[in-house]
């Protein structure tokens, strides 16, 4: 399997990760190094374990009773599954943006202030709200309506609000699970442009079904595919430009040229 040269430091390192739901194994032996300040896309056909793998990285799967993971995932020097590690704290450092925008039924301001308040943030909340909304390229659109309900925003604005909410607790990594699938092309473009800004400060991992999107936004791409027993394997992990022009595995080529999936 092709693996990209380690040009930058890894922020996330998956080592021999296998995942089971009850007795069913769905992912086998995935090894992945996620570089700092890059965008890594995870692609693959439906059921290839993309979301499962993404959710392992901030321990979201812990909420599923039948879930079991083997192997290790390192976050810098920190073993994410070490006994005693706190999933809630992990989720602040490794934030997540979901497929459907999911703002809380609160004001725009309170959505962004939510995490810092829970964390007992002692600085100026107004500053952190403004800064996060600026970073999510939303400030100019909402600065005069911060007390209005977040649910009154458009889908694209709601998704940028969710990004602002994730950023307000100063994460290092942002996980995005098909963040544009519920958005129109203009809102999608706004998120893609935003991602290019965000990667200067964060490491981003995005699951996408959209091959063009993976090609446009990501530095590296990981291709997952299930075998005949529906157990997913990492087939190829490489620089996006190389994988999309000269994949080293014929299954990757078949997938990205649309011959299956
Ligand atoms: N909570 C769960 N309980 C049991 N099995 C699950 C659960 N979640 C996912 N699976 C199974 O794990 C496998 C991988 O699912 P996952 O959603 O991670 O794939 P995916 O590549 O993200 O799919 P899609 O592109 O359709 O969203 C599938 O066979 C799915 O049925």
Distance 120 CA to ligand 1 centre (A): 35
Dist. CA 187–CA 164, nearest whole Å: 15
3 state SS of 132: helix
Closest residue by Cα to atom 16, ligand 1, is 49
Q: What are phi and psi of 149, to 5 degrees?
A: -65, 140
Query: ipTM of this complex > 0.90?
Result: yes
Which atom in ligand 1 lies closest to the alpha carbon of residue 207?
Answer: 22
Distance 67 CA to ligand 1 centre (A): 11
pLDDT at 1: 54
Per-residue pLDDT of the chain (261 residues; tens, 9 = 90+): 544 544 457 999 999 999 999 999 999 999 999 999 999 999 999 999 999 999 999 999 999 999 999 999 999 999 999 999 999 999 999 999 999 999 999 999 999 999 999 988 889 999 999 999 999 999 999 999 999 999 999 999 999 999 999 999 999 999 999 999 988 999 899 999 999 999 999 999 999 999 999 999 999 999 999 999 999 999 999 999 999 999 999 999 999 988 766
Closest residue by Cα to atom 7, ligand 1, is 21
Distance 196 CA to ligand 1 centre (A): 28
Distance 46 CA to ligand 1 centre (A): 8
Which atom in ligand 1 lies closest to the alpha carbon of residue 224?
Answer: 21
Please state, in angstroms and as integers, the Cα–Cα distance from residue 231 to each residue in 39, 46, 49, following that order: 26, 12, 8
Q: How many helices (H) and strands (E) does the chain have?
A: 10, 10
**In the structure encoding, which two tokens stand for residue 209, read together?**
């079904």
Does 101 sit in the ligand 1 pocket, CB within 6 Å? no
pLDDT at 147: 98
Please state, in angstroms and as integers, the Cα–Cα distance from residue 32 to each residue in 75, 87, 103, 220, following that order: 12, 21, 31, 11
pLDDT at 6: 47
Spatial contact of 175 and 141, defined as CB atoms under 8 Å apart: no
Instruction: Summarize pLDDT for 70-85 with one digit per residue, the tens.
Output: 999 999 999 999 999 9
Closest residue by Cα to atom 5, ligand 1, is 21
Which H/E stretch holds residue 134? helix 125-135
Closest residue by Cα to atom 14, ligand 1, is 49
Instruction: Summarize pLDDT for 176-231 with one digit per residue, the tens.
Output: 999 999 889 998 999 999 999 999 999 999 999 999 999 999 999 999 999 999 99
Distance 232 CA to ligand 1 centre (A): 10
Distance 208 CA to ligand 1 centre (A): 14
139: left (phi over 0), alpha (psi -120 to 50) or beta: alpha
Instruction: Report DSSP state, residue 145.
Output: -
Closest CA to 134 of 42, 218, 197, 213: 197
**In the structure encoding, which two tokens stand for residue 63, read together?**
């909420």
pLDDT at 258: 84
Dist. CA 33–CA 180, nearest whole Å: 24
Closest residue by Cα to atom 24, ligand 1, is 46
Does 60 sit in the ligand 1 pocket, CB within 6 Å? no
């Amino acid at each position: 399997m092709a693996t990209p040269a380690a040009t930058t430091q890894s922020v996330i390192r998956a080592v021999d990760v296998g995942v089971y739901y009850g007795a069913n194994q769905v992912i086998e032996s995935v090894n992945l190094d996620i570089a700092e300040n890059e965008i890594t896309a995870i692609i693959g056909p439906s059921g290839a374990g993309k979301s499962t793998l993404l959710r392992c990285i901030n321990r979201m799967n812990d909420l599923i009773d039948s879930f079991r993971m083997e192997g290790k995932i390192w976050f810098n020097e920190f073993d994410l599954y070490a006994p005693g590690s706190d999933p809630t704290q992990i989720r602040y450092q490794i934030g997540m943006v979901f497929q459907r925008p999911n703002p809380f039924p609160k004001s725009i301001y309170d959505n962004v202030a939510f995490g810092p308040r829970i964390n007992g943030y002692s600085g100026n909340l107004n500053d952190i709200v403004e800064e996060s909304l600026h970073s999510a390229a939303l400030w100019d659109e909402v600065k005069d309506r911060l007390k209005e309900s977040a649910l009154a925003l458009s889908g694209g604005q709601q998704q940028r609000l969710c990004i602002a909410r994730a950023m307000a607790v100063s994460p290092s990594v942002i996980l995005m699970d098909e963040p544009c699938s519920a958005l129109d092309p203009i809102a999608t473009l706004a998120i893609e442009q935003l991602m290019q800004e965000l990667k200067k400060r964060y490491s981003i991992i995005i699951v996408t079904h959209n091959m063009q999107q993976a090609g446009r936004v990501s530095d590296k791409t990981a291709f997952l595919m299930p075998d005949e027993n529906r157990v997913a394997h990492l087939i190829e992990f490489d620089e996006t430009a190389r994988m999309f022009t000269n994949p080293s595995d014929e299954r990757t080529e078949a997938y990205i040229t649309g011959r299956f999936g």
